[in-house]
Structure 1
Amino acid sequence: MPEQSGQRRGLAWLLAALSALGPFSIDAYLPSFAAIGHSLDASPLQVQQTLSVYLFAFAAMSLWHGALADRYGRRRVILAALLLFALASLGCLLATSIGQLWFWRAWQGVTAGAGIVVSRAIVRDLFDDADAQRLMARITMIFALAPAIAPLLGGWLQVNFGWRAVFAFLALSTVALWLACLKWLPESLPPEKRQPLHPTYLLGAYRKVLSTPGFLAACAALSLNFAGFFIYVLSAPVFVMQHLGLPETAFLWLFAPAMLGLLAGSALSGQLAGRRSAAYCLRLGYALMALAATVNLLYHHVFPPTLPWSILPIGLYTSGMALAMPSLTLAALDLFPRQRGLAASCQTFLQSSFNGLCAALIAPALWSSARHLSLGMAGLLLLGALASQRQWRGRAAA
Structure 2
Amino acid sequence: MPIRSAGALPSRLLPIQGKPHRTESLLLLKIIPLAALTGVGMLSTDLYLPALPHLAQTLATDVPTVQATVSVYIIVFALSQLAWGWIADRLGMRNTLVAGIALQIAAGIACALAGSVYWLIFFRAVQGIGAGAATVVVPVLLRRRFTDAEAVRAISWVGIAESVIPAIAPVAGAAILLVASWRATFWVVALLALMLLPFVIWLVPAKQALHEPGEPVNYRLLLRNRAFVRDALIYGLTFGALVTFVASAPHLVEVWLGHGPGMFALMQVFGVSSFILAASRGSAGVQRFGVHKMMQAGGYAQLLAVTGLLVLGLADVRSATLMIGFWAIFCAGLGLRGPATMTRALSVPHSMTSLASGFLMFLALFLSGVGTQLAGFFLSYGMYPVALLMLVMIVGSLYLQRGGEAQVVIEGVVD
Structure-2-length-normalised TM-score: 0.81
Aligned partner of 1:164 in structure 2 is 183
Aligned partner of 2:204 in structure 1 is 186
Separation of aligned partners in 2, 1:164 and 1:50:
13
Separation of aligned partners in 1, 2:210 and 2:44:
33
| Residues 193 and 181 of structure 1, relative CA distance in 2, 3 Å threshold | closer
Separation of aligned partners in 2, 1:40 and 1:238:
27
| Residues 312 and 165 of structure 1, relative CA distance in 2, 3 Å threshold | farther
Given that 1:28 and 1:166 are in contact with CA atoms closer than 8 Å, whether structure 2 keeps it comes out as yes
Aligned partner of 1:9 in structure 2 is 28
Q: Within the alignment, does 1:19 sit opposite 2:32 as a pair?
A: no
Q: Percent identity?
A: 26
Aligned partner of 2:91 in structure 1 is 72
Secondary structure of 1:339's partner? helix
Separation of aligned partners in 1, 2:379 and 2:183:
26
| Residues 209 and 82 of structure 1, relative CA distance in 2, 3 Å threshold | same
Aligned partner of 2:6 in structure 1 is none
Given that 1:285 and 1:322 are in contact with CA atoms closer than 8 Å, whether structure 2 keeps it comes out as yes
Given that 2:100 and 2:130 are in contact with CA atoms closer than 8 Å, whether structure 1 keeps it comes out as yes
TM-fit CA distance, 1:160: 5.4
Matches within 5 A, 1:193-232: 193=210, 201-202=216-217, 205-232=218-245
Given that 2:149 and 2:284 are in contact with CA atoms closer than 8 Å, whether structure 1 keeps it comes out as no
Given that 2:173 and 2:185 are in contact with CA atoms closer than 8 Å, whether structure 1 keeps it comes out as yes
Separation of aligned partners in 2, 1:240 and 1:170:
30
CA displacement, residues 279-319 of structure 1 (integer Å, 9 cap, x when unaligned):
21111101111111122222234447564443332222111
Separation of aligned partners in 2, 1:323 and 1:201:
35
Q: Within the alignment, does 1:382 sit opposite 2:395 as a pair?
A: yes
Matches within 5 A, 1:134-145: 134-145=153-164
Separation of aligned partners in 2, 1:180 and 1:192:
21
What is the CA RMSD across the aligned residues, in angstroms? 3.2
Q: Within the alignment, does 1:365 sit opposite 2:377 as a pair?
A: yes
| Residues 281 and 16 of structure 1, relative CA distance in 2, 3 Å threshold | same
Separation of aligned partners in 1, 2:315 and 2:62:
33
CA displacement, residues 161-216 of structure 1 (integer Å, 9 cap, x when unaligned):
4543333322222222224434x4232x74444566x8x945xx211112333222
Structure-1-length-normalised TM-score: 0.84
Aligned partner of 1:90 in structure 2 is 109
Tell me whether 334-343 or 307-316 shows the greater mean CA deviation: 307-316
TM-fit CA distance, 1:29: 3.4
Aligned partner of 1:288 in structure 2 is 301
| Residues 224 and 193 of structure 1, relative CA distance in 2, 3 Å threshold | closer
Q: 2:260 aligns with which of 232, 237, 246?
A: 246
Tell me whether 123-132 or 32-41 shows the greater mean CA deviation: 32-41
Secondary structure of 2:233's partner? helix
Q: Radius of gyration: which is bigger?
A: 2
Tell me whether 39-48 or 336-345 shows the greater mean CA deviation: 39-48
Number of residues of Structure 1 aligned to a counterpart in Structure 2: 388
| Residues 240 and 12 of structure 1, relative CA distance in 2, 3 Å threshold | farther
| Residues 375 and 58 of structure 1, relative CA distance in 2, 3 Å threshold | same
Moved over 6 A (4+): none
Q: Within the alignment, does 1:323 sit opposite 2:336 as a pair?
A: yes
| Residues 237 and 193 of structure 1, relative CA distance in 2, 3 Å threshold | same
Aligned partner of 2:79 in structure 1 is 60
| Residues 365 and 43 of structure 1, relative CA distance in 2, 3 Å threshold | farther
The AA in structure 2 aligned to 1:169 is V
CA displacement, residues 62-99 of structure 1 (integer Å, 9 cap, x when unaligned):
12323333333322221221121122223333345443
Secondary structure of 2:376's partner? helix
Identify unmatched segments of 5+ residues in structure 1: none
TM-fit CA distance, 1:132: 2.0
Aligned partner of 1:262 in structure 2 is 275
Aligned partner of 2:284 in structure 1 is 271
Separation of aligned partners in 2, 1:286 and 1:316:
11
TM-fit CA distance, 1:17: 0.9
Identify unmatched segments of 5+ residues in structure 2: 1-17, 409-415
Given that 1:225 and 1:384 are in contact with CA atoms closer than 8 Å, whether structure 2 keeps it comes out as yes
Separation of aligned partners in 2, 1:237 and 1:29:
18
Given that 1:55 and 1:356 are in contact with CA atoms closer than 8 Å, whether structure 2 keeps it comes out as no
